[in-house]
Structures are given as structure tokens and as C-alpha cells.
Structure 1
């Protein structure tokens, strides 16, 4: 069997199985976190611009956008997937360098609404999408991430798997959905190395392409069965020819959805260890930002390749600037959405502190990437003191997880101002009981 056939066989069988309560709970955690990212992103560009661009697919159809506007399933997947990746607070699967929620859950929700699925079937489809796509992403590895944006490429598989599960495709059709997804997968790193709206579009495109792949497979469209592991397939063309046997070895035994990173800061995940390390060291030294002469941040190489911008001009660029977010953290105690408001972007205190921040690659920490996301931070004070702190992980990683209460607070903080407090609390309660027999996705 090819890798695609093994994944297809697993995905097709999953909907008929009873998942462990722990796995379902982690699926609900992922959904709560996705909603926390989706709702604030829905009122920002590019999602608002997509509503203009695809107006002929709106105000009709069975699926919904964040504020209740009707949409066809494919356009809902596109816009909602884009929205969920816009404000940079969506989840991460560390080993795959990948945000699975934005494309996978966007597609699962659009298709679940279209077929009036139960909350339990919706959650099971989410699990299928996470389990298949995270393994593909982890196998493609760091070599893939050098040029490709995994959320755009790998996310297409997550979306296709979620939709195929809800369409109840048999293993043959499910496999063809994944094979078609492979050849539709795209998203370039260079697309967000400068100011642009491309990065969230990658998640939206993955959601839409994955849904289309499943719909086409349902209609009988076939794909090349060895498109993932063939001699000119995904692994060869977009990575370094990895071995695929281990990718499927733990299916059904280990659930990657239980090992998610949930963001505690509203910016690129590569900046989190520097932020956490700087805040920890500031607390140890008991100083404010005005007492800092110099900050040195040493971390793994891709963090600086992606987020090494020392002079960001826009909110999109600032979210990918270690220096900018560390300066904000040291000055204001956190990096939330307010850090990227217009007045903060031009804050002279932030800009002045940024000039005292130096970035470098730590070769030991680089060798540990992607399984470990660490940073070494040192601060020199105006009175000559110097201290160093190794931040071995990020708050929100599986080894330093956010609690259910933390996730609920995150949801209320981000969605409350848009939905209103009462509506946000009602939606939150609904999400935490999605596996109940009378659950609703509306």
C-alpha cells in the first residue's frame, strides 16, 4: 500500500469508531482555540476583502461566516480558514512546523454545516484531519519548511481529511481525496517575508482546496495513488525524499491532537521563547524597561529567517519581528492584539528599545529544532548587571500547556469584544459540550 492508501484507510474507518474521552476533550480544546482565532480575524483584512471578492457566493448556501453570514461551503472554508490565521493566535503542531487548526477546522465546520452533522461527527472529522496532516507535516520535516509554508501545503491534507470524513467517503474515495489534495497543496515562505496578506490566504486556500478535493473524490475524481511517496511525488519534490513508513506507524495508537501548542501571544510562534525568556529574566532582575542597556537573544535559525525583521513597518511585519515583540513584552508586560495597533507600531519607547536588542543563532538550539523551540536571553542593565536565562520551551507548548481555563479566557478576550460578552459566553459553553448528544454547530 502507498502512504496515501494507508492514510485513506485510517481516515475512512475513524468516523465509525468511539474515540477516547481524552482525545475528544483535546479536539474540543482545539476547536475552542480555533474560534478564538477565527472571530477576531473575521473582521480584519484579508477576510473582509475576500467577502467583497467572492460576494456572489455569499448570502446563500448552508455554511456560515463568523458573524452568521451565509456562504457556500467552499467559500466559507476559504474565508474562515483565512480569518483563523490572520491575527496569529491559532494553534501549532510543533514537530510539523504547522498550524493545523486554521485550514482543518474551517473545512470541517463548513462541511459539517452543509450536511447537518452532529457535534460528535464534527469533532471526529477534526481529529482525522489533525492526525493525518500532522504526520505528513512531521515527515516532510525541516527541509520542506525551508521554502514552503506548511500551513498552506500540509493544511490541504488536514482539510481534505476532515471533509472526506464528514462526506463519509469509503477508503478508496478517501484516498483519492488525499491524492488530489497533494497536487493542489501550495504556499511559499517568500510570500510572507515582507508585508503582504498572503500568509493567512495560505490557510484559506488549503481549507478550500482540501474541501474541493474531497468533493471531487465523492463524485469519482481520482488521483495518483503514489503522489505522496512516489519517485516524483510530494516527498521528493517538496522535501528531501523522507521515509514514509513511520508516518503511518502510530495511527490509531498515538493521537497528535493531544500534543498541540496553543498560543499565549498574538504573533509568530517562533518569537515565543524569546518573549517568555525576556519576561522571565526581567522578573528575576526586578527591573523595568528603562533600566535595560542591552538585550541579547540567541535562538534557532528558522526563527530569525522568518522573524528576524529589525525594522517592521506594518502590523503584519511586526508579528514576525523578534525584536519588536520582545520590546513590547518588556515595556508592556505582554504581546496581545494591542501590540499591533497603529499607535504601538510608532511608539518611540518600543523603537528605542529595539535598537538595544541583538539577535543571533545558537547552534545547539538550532539542532534541537523543530522538536524543541528554545531561546537563550541575556539582559545587561544600565548599572552594569548582566544575567542570562535559557527558555527551554514556550508557554502553551505540550510540556507547558495552557489549561482549559486559559483557553476559555483567551476565547473571551478575543471573541468577547466582537460577539458581545453574553453571546461569547454562550458560544463558549456550546463549544465545550460539542460531544453531547444534542450539540449544535449553528
Structure 2
């Protein structure tokens, strides 16, 4: 087997100078717009604002923007805060085949470094593509066993961020390779702080972004790592999964397709493992037209994480709610969709949502579990109070590459999320800059909308 780390570094370096296909450029712009939409609500809610205050003395000298407070400082400082804020509202993108959210750590790092060094918009987008290329393919190599104990966005995100950093700093394939090697020693974040109590999870992505920037800076300064760090018997794959990595699957199609063209953009503001259930319930309701009072029970048969992570009856916070099949089904049936309004204090206190939750049962289905992570499916059985039984097999998720959000749907999602933090002029200006501009996105005025 050829060295996967070397091959991935060479693939990333290729993106710095190759002709950029129109489809790849457009999908990258869509991805960056989705990152901004997902990031902006976290500037007002969650751990980001508090962290910005306690870390203010350490922002240092630089030109990278921390959007949560509008300050400028070092790329590491901005990457950390933007990584936290972009993973707070749980709207960030997904690479389905790796069960990985690349945008939060990778774009947070790439934008911070690009701003700090004054890179062009083109160089920034190319670094995002390269970071996604490496991170998403490593996620394939580690899954599904890695996810049993590790939060893959926290771990692999560190590597994607390192790649983007090294690319923006002018790194050769050799420099990028050492950035990958170094970053594998920084990559961490375990499942208890994803599944358990507390709100550490967004910090996973902030740490990944910052640590990735550190790895990229170190490699550019001449620090080296073991180039066998990914696949060696004591390397990262062996330490964090059941094998030394499925590198044949990870490298399949390298040079023929790139992961940023196969992203999932979230259509619901909750854990992606809940999406097939929500899409299936919506389909059944549109076909039959039942109301909440008509429901006797709903049985959800899903894959492993659907049951292990999202079978959650105890919901006290918005974070709990975003990881509860029961709550999200209740919100869908009462509010009509699972977006920002589903997780407000008012929504969390609604009796009609709570009344539906005990009617929802979640179990693992062996056949569906065997197809994970490349397929995300659910079998639903809805029993109505009049005796009717409705069965539905949901084979796709809205937003996945085989059922993607259109440009119009993606912009509508961005407009909704960005309106939480930006006025109309800033929101529209940012959208035009990201989708059609040539320069880097820069400072924004963050303020809650009053109307």
C-alpha cells in the first residue's frame, strides 16, 4: 500500500494551482455561505460570547476576525472562536460517507489564516477544497468504528484545518504532509462530551480549528512529524478505530471527484441522525393528513447512532432537544418544521410538543445499521387512534447529495439563520460577496434583530 498521508498531501497541494472546475468553485461558494449561516447564530447564543470575553487578553496581534465580537487578532484566536460559534446551532454541513462535519473546523481555520495573511478569495476557496479533500477521505478510512468513542468532527477536523492552513501559507506537498502528521497528535474530542450533559461539543470544533492552525504553522516553520502517522501500527487510525484504516475506500476516486461536491447541507436544525425520521414523518403526514391528536404511537427503526445518541426523552436544554428524536418529531408535528424557532425557551416549554414525546419509540434496525454511514435511512410505523397503521421506509435525507438543497433552498436557509445576527444590508452584502465576489469575506456588524 502506498503511503496514504503522502497521497492525500499531494492531492491537497494540487488544488492550490490546478484549473478550478466551475462546479467545484460553485459548490465551494455554497459551502462557505452555509458556514456563515450556521456560524452567525452562535455569535449570540451558546459558549461563544462567553469565551470571547475570557479569551480577549490572548487575541494577540493579527488581522483575523473573530465574528462573535468583531475583534481582530491572531489566526489561532479567530479560528478557535469561529469554530465554536459555527458548531453551536447544529446547522453545519455533513460529509455523509464519513459522518463528519468538515465546515466548522476547516472553514474557521482557513478564513482566519486567509484574513491574517491577506490571501485572495481564490486562494481561500482552494484551501477549503483541499482541507475538505483530506479530512473527508480520512473520515471514510476511520469509520464507522471511530465514532463509537470519538467525535469525528473534533478529531479529523483538526487535520482538515491543518491542511487548509499549510496551503494558505504556501506549503508544498511535503509541508502539507508534515502538517497532517503533526495534527494527528493534536486531534481529540470524545463521545461523552457529545452525548452527555454540558455544552462542550461546540468547543470540540473550536479546538480542532485552532489546533489545526497550530499544526499548519508549525509545519511551515519546519517542524516535522512522522509521515506514517495515519496508517502505522501505532498511528492515528490504529489508536482511534478498530483497524489501521480503510485506505482503499478513502482513496477511491482520488483525482476523479472531490468531497466538497458531495456535501449534505442540513435542512433541519438538529442532529443529522434524526433527519430520515423527520423527512419520513413529513412524507406520511403529507400523504395522509393526520393531526397530532390522531397519533397513538410512532415507532422509528434507524441505524446505530439514531438509537444510541438520539433516543433521548430527557430534554431540558436546546442542546438536549437537538439530539432527541422524540422532541424533534414533536416539534415538527406542532410547529411545522425544525429550525431555530423549535429550540427557543418558549418552544422547550410547550406542552403539545412534550405530549408527543412519550409516543415516539426508537430502536435500532440491523439492516439499516449495516448500510450506515453511506446510507442514512429509517423505517417508520405510525399507529393512529382510529386503528389505521401507516408504514414508511425513508431511504434518503433531504439535503444529502442524492436529494440536495437547491440554490434557492440553501439561500433561504442562509437568510433565515443570518437574520438572527445581521441587518438586511449586511446579510445581503455577505451573500453576494460569498457567492459572486472575488475578495475575502471580512468584518460584519453582529447585532440581534429587533424586528
**Shorter-chain TM-score range:** over 0.9
> 8 Å contact 2:66–2:77 — kept in the other structure?
no
Give the structure 1 partner of residue 328 of structure 2: 325
Deviation at 1:53, TM superposition (A): 2.1
SS at match of 1:422: helix
Give the structure 2 partner of residue 190 of structure 1: 192
Q: After superposing the two structures, state which structure 1 stretch, 242-251 or 386-395, moved more.
A: 242-251
- Select the residue among 412, 418, 422 that pairs with 2:421: 418
Deviation at 1:271, TM superposition (A): 0.5
- Select the residue among 338, 342, 345 that pairs with 1:339: 342
Q: In the alignment, is residue 122 of structure 1 matched against residue 124 of structure 2?
A: yes
Q: After superposing the two structures, state which structure 1 stretch, 62-71 or 288-297, moved more.
A: 62-71
Equivalences for 1:158-173 in 2 at 5 Å? 158-173=160-175
**1:249/1:374 CA distance change after superposition, 3 Å:** closer
Deviation at 1:249, TM superposition (A): 4.5
Summarize deviations over 1:157-197 as a string: whole Å, max 9, x none.
Answer: 11011111100111222111100011110010111212212
Give the structure 2 partner of residue 47 of structure 1: 48
Deviation at 1:109, TM superposition (A): 0.3
> 8 Å contact 1:3–1:245 — kept in the other structure?
no
Give the structure 2 partner of residue 27 of structure 1: 28
Q: After superposing the two structures, state which structure 1 stretch, 264-273 or 2-11, moved more.
A: 2-11
* Runs of 4+ more than 6 Å apart: none
Give the structure 2 partner of residue 395 of structure 1: 398
Give the structure 1 partner of residue 441 of structure 2: 441
- Select the residue among 243, 246, 250 that pairs with 1:247: 250
SS at match of 2:118: coil
Deviation at 1:141, TM superposition (A): 0.9
Q: After superposing the two structures, state which structure 1 stretch, 3-12 or 252-261, moved more.
A: 3-12
Give the structure 1 partner of residue 81 of structure 2: 79
Give the structure 2 partner of residue 15 of structure 1: 16
Cα distance in 2 for partners of 1:10, 1:360 equals: 41
Deviation at 1:106, TM superposition (A): 0.3
Q: After superposing the two structures, state which structure 1 stretch, 231-240 or 207-216, moved more.
A: 231-240
Deviation at 1:306, TM superposition (A): 1.2
> 8 Å contact 1:40–1:414 — kept in the other structure?
yes
Give the structure 2 partner of residue 149 of structure 1: 151
Deviation at 1:245, TM superposition (A): 4.3
Summarize deviations over 1:52-101 as a string: whole Å, max 9, x none.
Answer: 22111348520112253213210100010111110000000001010000
SS at match of 1:153: helix
SS at match of 1:311: coil
- What are the ranges of 5 or more consecutive residues in structure 1 without an aligned counterpart? none
Deviation at 1:251, TM superposition (A): 2.3
Give the structure 2 partner of residue 365 of structure 1: 368
Deviation at 1:388, TM superposition (A): 1.0
Cα distance in 2 for partners of 1:72, 1:281 equals: 50
Cα distance in 2 for partners of 1:421, 1:37 equals: 17
Q: In the alignment, is residue 316 of structure 1 matched against residue 311 of structure 2?
A: no
Deviation at 1:348, TM superposition (A): 1.1
Cα distance in 2 for partners of 1:43, 1:174 equals: 35
Deviation at 1:302, TM superposition (A): 1.4
Cα distance in 2 for partners of 1:249, 1:307 equals: 31
Give the structure 1 partner of residue 179 of structure 2: 177
- What are the ranges of 5 or more consecutive residues in structure 2 without an aligned counterpart? 443-451
SS at match of 2:392: strand
When normalised by structure 2's length, the TM-score is 0.95
> 8 Å contact 1:118–1:441 — kept in the other structure?
no
Cα distance in 2 for partners of 1:8, 1:276 equals: 38
Give the structure 1 partner of residue 115 of structure 2: 113
Cα distance in 1 for partners of 2:283, 2:100 equals: 26
Deviation at 1:440, TM superposition (A): 3.3
Query: Aligned Cα RMSD in Å?
Result: 1.3
> 8 Å contact 1:26–1:258 — kept in the other structure?
yes
Deviation at 1:198, TM superposition (A): 1.5
When normalised by structure 1's length, the TM-score is 0.97
